[in-house]
Structure 1
Amino acid sequence: MTFRLLITFVLVLGLTGCATRWNPMNWFGGDREERIEVTADEVETDPRGLVTEIVSLSVVPNPGGAVISAMGLPPRQGYWEADLVEVSRDGGEMVFEFRVFQPLDPNTRVSTQRSREVLAGIALNRFDLAGIRSITVIGQQNRRTVSRQ
């Protein structure tokens, strides 16, 4: 009887810990969006431009750190070589720009949103994430942020 009570107590305690901030799988929650407008003089000298809009942002924890992935939406098909370029890391916030090359053919189709989406990602180790409370990815018209819970 005591053994069953002990097992029940351990299970209840373990399951309640799953929803806390101490669980590494809960470190980064859902993303939130902020609408912005980036002007040409704010952009660095990278030959790639900023993607028009950030559609989604996720941080997936793994045993060695986390993988950050962002989905960008350019105005038409054919954009290529997408990267998340780190621009700052201070005050517990890590900021990336979503950079992408324009199509070589200026007459590419617009087509559907799904056919234009571009994915970029970066893997960070535990040392890269030490002290980081939020991660932001910037596009031309918006930025998305995920924060530790």
Structure 2
Amino acid sequence: MRTSVLILLTSTLALSACQSRVNPVNWFGNDRADAVITESNPLIPEETDAGRSFFAQEQAVAFVGLPISKVTNLEVHTVTEGQLVVAVGVSAVHGTHDARLVARGPAENGVLTLDFMAIPPADPITGGSDLTREITAASVLTDQQTAGVRTIRVAASGNTLERRAR
């Protein structure tokens, strides 16, 4: 029994090295890779009837947020991209979402003013402590945006906080 298994394994190993029909690797057909020639790059998405890519983003929609009630904390950190501005505030109602720091325009007299805006819910719920209505927003300002800026101001409807740009 041992000898027949040994002979079978040895012959299979020996036949797998030759390119003949008796090679067990060649028994189930010759699988060859055929080159497929395409006229377009498969990594680039096709264009739709509208003339733009299927994966292209829609045009930017204007942000329709409202200023929050007050800003309670403001931090400015230096990061590789420029300045990271982190603001914490309190909204007037529960469920305020999509908070953003929106620049009013270019810096004036070395002061860059950012409005702390957020979208209120459709059915607002008032009341509760300030901790339950707290909301945080952050934004990275590039070195080009902060060129000549000495102070960063974040404004809400009730107050403003300022920090020195680093």
Name the amino acid aligned to 2:81.
G
Indicate conservation of the 8 Å contact 2:92/2:126, yes or no. no
Name the amino acid aligned to 1:95.
T
Q: Is residue 61 from structure 1 mapped to residue 78 from structure 2 by the alignment?
A: yes
Deviation for aligned residue 1:148: 4.2
Match of 1:8 in 2: none
Match of 1:139 in 2: 156
Name the amino acid aligned to 2:92.
P
Match of 1:36 in 2: none
User: Percent of counterpart pairs with the same letter?
Assistant: 23
Name the amino acid aligned to 2:121.
P
Residues in 2 aligned to 1:109 and 1:52: alpha-carbon distance in whole angstroms: 12
Indicate conservation of the 8 Å contact 2:68/2:118, yes or no. yes
Deviation for aligned residue 1:123: 0.5
Deviation for aligned residue 1:92: 1.1
Indicate conservation of the 8 Å contact 2:76/2:165, yes or no. no
Q: Which among 118, 127, 142 is matched to residue 144 of structure 2?
A: 127
Q: Deviations over 1:14-59 (max 9, x none)?
A: xxxxxxxxxxxxxxxxxxxxxxxxxxxxxxx963211000111110
Deviation for aligned residue 1:113: 1.5
TM-score (norm 2): 0.57
Matches within 5 A, 1:1-149: 47-88=64-105, 89-106=107-124, 108-148=125-165
Structure 1: runs of 5 or more not aligned: 1-44
Structure 2: runs of 5 or more not aligned: 1-61
Q: CA RMSD in A?
A: 1.8
Name the amino acid aligned to 1:66.
Q
Deviation for aligned residue 1:64: 2.6
Higher relative contact order (CA 8 A, sep 6+): 1
Residues in 2 aligned to 1:129 and 1:118: alpha-carbon distance in whole angstroms: 25
Residues in 1 aligned to 2:134 and 2:158: alpha-carbon distance in whole angstroms: 15
Which has the larger Rg? 2
Aligned residues: 104
TM-score (norm 1): 0.64
